Amino acid sequence: MTVRPSTPDESLPELVHVCRQMLTDEGDALRTALADFSASPRPGCPQELDGKAWSEDATSRGDQRRQLLGLTQHQVRLICFNAYDHLLTLARALGSDGAMSLYAHSSLSRVVCEAAVRFAWILDPDAGSEERIMRGAAALLVSADERLRGVMSIPAARFHPQLRQTMIDNCNSERDSTRELISSSGIRLVKSGDGKKVTRLELNAPKVRVPVKLDVTDMMTKLLLDSPSWYNISSSVTHSLFWGLRDAVVSAGDEPLALAPNLMDVGAAAECAISASGLIVSRCAAYYGYDPNPHVERSKERRATIDDHLRRIAMTRHRPTA
């Protein structure tokens, strides 16, 4: 559902236009920065160290680890593309065609934030090459398990039995080959007490332990310090909870239902998505050996621009009456 001004002479609130522009600028900066970093890695950077980690290991284990590294890097690229796609879609949802979203800005921002913390977790500059491929391996395991779970939940009557079984076999094959790749890399898959699922990955030298299941809410709090509770707040829209949806109701209880976007939520969604983009740029800069601070500061400036408008709205709403 989108909202348009009621007459041709009206326009969307100034905050909406500002948010769209700041998001668009952030998207442009994200794309440019990542292209520049990846084109010219600095000597001694983590990206170069990853590439050299097993370059001279001619054993089967070395080959498997190089494969895991390639899959890890491929995953982070796709995660980044997902964040960028949702960032630009959020900008378009805020008035690019004269209309704006009623609720969707919250969900779009949430996707950008979750993609950013997953990206940041894998490209943690404090993680060595072994731990990085283990984190990438954990993400591969979750992906394979979720794909299999999705296919298994399809009602048998919906598909021809042979087609359904082929889909299940393909998913099982992907999961098994993923586990085999990890094991042959010298990484131990530790299962739960009942032996039904892998809970963590372990390596003896260097000694590293990586959980398979991530606490995204906790990661959001630690990695997006400017937006510590946004993941929880935006879940009210994602899960259609009453306390979040009712913020868009502008009619009194005895009047016909009238809805309008909550401008404070719009600003928060844009700010959080910009912070998430800044986190991606920061981790990517460090991975390729660049100083992330200039890029992070510009993201903060865009967020501050939105903040100024939010403060004005808040002051107007809560201005004391004579």
Please tell me the pTM assigned to this model. 0.91
Q: Which of these ranges, 251-255, 269-273, 276-280, has the smallest mean pLDDT?
A: 251-255
CA atoms of 272 and 240, how far apart (whole Å): 20
CA atoms of 22 and 44, how far apart (whole Å): 34
CB of 201 within 8 A of CB of 138?
A: yes
pLDDT: is 321 or 123 the higher one?
Answer: 123
Does residue 201 surpass a pLDDT of 70?
Answer: yes
Does residue 9 surpass a pLDDT of 80?
Answer: no
Q: Which of these ranges, 153-157, 162-166, 232-236, has the smallest mean pLDDT?
A: 153-157
**pLDDT single digits (tens) 221-263:** 899 988 878 888 889 999 999 988 998 898 887 888 888 889 9
